[in-house]
Each structure stands twice: as structure tokens, then as C-alpha cells.
Amino acid sequence: MDHIRNKIGSRLRLLRLERELTQEQLAGKAGFHPTYIAKIETGRRLPSLEVIEQLAFSLNVPAAYIVQAIDDPSPAIAAAGSDFEEALVLLRSCRPGQIRFIREVIKLVKRHDVFDPPE
């Protein structure tokens, strides 16, 4: 059950951040207390279907989008963790031409086998 709560919470957080909303703003739009939104996002509460539907309406997405699986078996994605999540947030706010450009940059990086720079 923890796995499901965490997945829904991560998805909700990602959708909220994509829309540049605070937890307080989403709570206000959806009619919930900000603390409840925080508990869902951190996996401490499992929202009911009705809550998911209200959150989805407030985020202008289908309810299924909040609960859809976001697992990716790729070890590289698992290792990237929050960097990958942040990249998704940024990509979802790009225009189509920007996405095509980013895709080409990624192809170049992979083709030339460029590795992560040391931190």
C-alpha cells in the first residue's frame, strides 16, 4: 500500500509543479486543506477516488493520469531520481520546437558517448 501512496503522491506533486502551483494554491482550487495535499504528496495519505477526481479536475487532467503507473525499469532513470523528475517538469512546459531541439541534443550526447561531468 505504501508503494501506491508514494506513486500517487509523486504524480500529484509533479502535476502541481508543472502548473507552478503551491500546495496551498492547489488546495484552494480543489477545496482541501494544504496539509492534506502535503500528506498525499509525501505518501502519508491515500486519497479516495472522489478526492483524486477533484484534484484531477483542479489540475485539468484526467483522473487516470494521477494514478497511472510511472515506473520505469531503466537503472539510469532510477539513479537520476529527482534530476529526472525535474527534467520532466521542464520538458512538459516546453514548446514543440524546444522539445525537438532537446531531443536532438540528447541524441548527440548519446552518439558521442558523453558521460556525466564530475561534480
Domain boundaries, the chain: 2-67, 75-111
Q: Per-residue pLDDT for 80 more than 80?
A: no
Which distant-in-sequence residues (6+ apart) come within 8 Å of 41 by Cβ? 9, 10, 12, 13, 16, 23
Q: What is the chain's mean pLDDT, rounded?
A: 84
- In 10 A of CB 90, how many CB atoms? 13
Q: Per-residue pLDDT for 22 more than 80?
A: yes
Q: Per-residue pLDDT for 40 more than 50?
A: yes
Which distant-in-sequence residues (6+ apart) come within 8 Å of 15 by Cβ? 59, 61, 65, 66
Write out the CATH class of domain 2-67. mainly alpha
Q: Per-residue pLDDT for 73 more than 50?
A: no
Q: Per-residue pLDDT for 108 more than 80?
A: yes
